[in-house]
Amino acid sequence: MRKYDIIVIGAGSGGLNIAGFMNRAGFKVLLIDKSDRRIGGDCLNSGCVPSKALIHVARLLKNAKEASRFGLTVNGKTDIKKVLGYVKEKQEVIRVHENAEHFRKIGMDVALGEARLTGPDLVTVGNETYRGKKIILATGSRPRKLNVPGIGNVRYETNETIFDLEKLPEHLLVIGGGPIGIELGQAFRHLGSKVTVVEMDSKFLPKESPEIADVLHRRMVSEGVDFIFNATVKEFPSSNQAIIVNKDKKEIRLDFDTVLVSIGRDYNINGLSLEKAGIELENNGKKLKVDEYLRTTNKRVFVSGDVAGSYQFTHAAEVHAGVIINNFFSPFKKKLNNDHMAWVTYTSPEVATFGLNEEQLKQRGISYEKVVFDFEEDDRAIVDESHDGKLLLFIAKDKILGGSMVAENAGELSQELILANSSGLKLKHIFGKVYPYPTASRVNKRIISLYYANKLTPFAKRVLHLFYG
């Protein structure tokens, strides 16, 4: 039986970060995944990478069509095979350094196949059993299935299959209006599909601040995306028709040719034989029982990534990896803290959110000031035609507690605000920075200028007049 310092099950972001560090530090590492093509996890194979490549092409086509008002005429129909060929081409570029042969060359052992736990420190793949001082479960998640009458008659897509389409949908029905559904829905609208989004919630992107979400919602509606809120799919009476029921119990019949199901994720824990390693579950057996140090009930076994039951982002898995690696070696143990988590919805415009939101601040009894800046007052946003953008910050004691931005490239524009939030930088450090005019990121200084301007009370003005010589 081969023995390892650490066994990592799952070669996505969390698993690869931990395995990579431990390998570089000279520890004996075994990396396990189901197949060579699954290495890279959901992000490379069916998530972040293919979706952003698709969005990139969709924006190019959208911008080309919009150039007609300046005299450039663009004709033709989107060739979805070429679009998805581009997507797969970019995946293969990244796959060059995310495959079994590459990891073996740099010193790791790699086992391919279904892994199962066969003891507190034992992992079996096929007929081989391995012993590890520590084990990492980084098995990720998968699209949740839609269970309604008639679903068996419908060939529906998820984020795992939609990048293999043979033809561009004439009418794409998106079931689930979360970030995945919204990103892909808008991208296919830009590619030329009619798109209808059905969402159970009464709000658009309910995890975002309403005034931020509303900007994106209005943009998508103006582009021709239809939304049905407070609604569910009752049944599929045929392979190309859905019956939607809204909050008033009114039935709506929709014809479609392609369905995208994006109603959430389930954790990949089936088949791991967790009970043999003394690992307990919760939430009716659907979720691993994990403590604030990312340990299971078997203290040799840690979790990272989606399967940890926290935020389901590639960068969240990186945060998990950092916590776990720190606790392997430091006497000062870190707990997982998501107070500075950030995320981006890669629509057009993008939505970037970070830190604590307004509801969390109220729940914790934290006093704060809310400051909102509309991009219609920003020169660069005006000339770039992104003046419908908006930025809001929650501020206390000269520090940023959280915030959100909706704008073109908001994910990039918000980075220094995210740094200020996560590092505890004071507003003066941003305000005192020189922003060349007219960089788009000047909006970060503009909102702080607005915050300071609001401090000019009548009393403050009298004091300034008093000291003005």
* Residue 270: partners with Cβ closer than 8 Å, 6 or more residues away: none
Give the pLDDT band of residue 456 (cuts 50, 70, 90).
confident
Write down the H helix ranges in 33-106.
41-46, 48-66, 80-95, 100-105
> Stretch 173-181: mean pLDDT, rounded?
96
> Can you tell me the distance from the alpha carbon of 306 to that of 312, in angstroms, rounded to the nearest whole number?
5
pLDDT at 469 over 80: no
pLDDT at 462 over 90: no
Class of CATH domain 151-263? alpha beta
Interval 245-281: pLDDT, tens = 988 889 999 999 999 999 999 999 999 999 999 999 9
Q: Is 123 exposed, middle or buried (0-12, 13-18, 19+ CB in 10 A)?
A: buried
Q: Is the model more confident about 4 or about 465?
A: 4
> Can you tell me the distance from the alpha carbon of 199 to that of 464, in angstroms, rounded to the nearest whole number?
53
What local confidence, expressed as pLDDT, does residue 259 receive?
98
Neighbours of 47 (CB within 10 A): 23
What local confidence, expressed as pLDDT, does residue 313 receive?
96
Residues in the chain: 469
Interval 315-360: pLDDT, tens = 999 999 999 999 999 999 999 999 999 999 999 999 999 999 999 9
Q: What is each CA distance from 13 to 9, 140, 330, 346, 396, in whole angstroms?
A: 12, 9, 22, 19, 34
What local confidence, expressed as pLDDT, does residue 94 receive?
97
Q: Is 308 left (phi over 0), alpha (psi -120 to 50) or beta?
A: alpha
pLDDT at 373 over 80: yes
> Stretch 10-16: mean pLDDT, rounded?
97
What local confidence, expressed as pLDDT, does residue 464 receive?
82
> Can you tell me the distance from the alpha carbon of 114 to that of 36, in angstroms, rounded to the nearest whole number?
12
String of DSSP letters for 206-252: TTS-HHHHHHHHHHHHHTT-EEE-S-EEEEEEETTEEEEE-TT--EE
What local confidence, expressed as pLDDT, does residue 297 receive?
98
Interval 393-411: pLDDT, tens = 999 999 999 999 999 999 9
Interval 27-72: pLDDT, tens = 999 999 999 999 999 999 999 999 999 999 999 999 999 999 999 9
Class of CATH domain 342-456? alpha beta
Give the pLDDT band of residue 74 (cuts 50, 70, 90).
confident
What local confidence, expressed as pLDDT, does residue 248 receive?
86
Interval 80-93: pLDDT, tens = 999 999 999 999 99
Share of the chain above pLDDT 70, in %: 100
What local confidence, expressed as pLDDT, does residue 458 receive?
86
Interval 190-216: pLDDT, tens = 999 999 999 999 999 999 999 999 999
Secondary structure of the chain: what % helix, strand, coil (to 5)?
Answer: 35, 25, 35
Q: What residue ranges of the chain are covered by domains with CATH 3.30.390.30?
A: 342-456
Extract the tokens encoding 71: 């005299």
Q: Which of 48, 29, 39, 35 is nearest to 316 (CA)?
A: 48
Q: What residue ranges of the chain are covered by domains with CATH 3.50.50.60?
A: 2-40+98-143+266-329, 151-263
Q: Which fold has domain 2-40+98-143+266-329?
A: FAD/NAD(P)-binding domain (3.50.50)
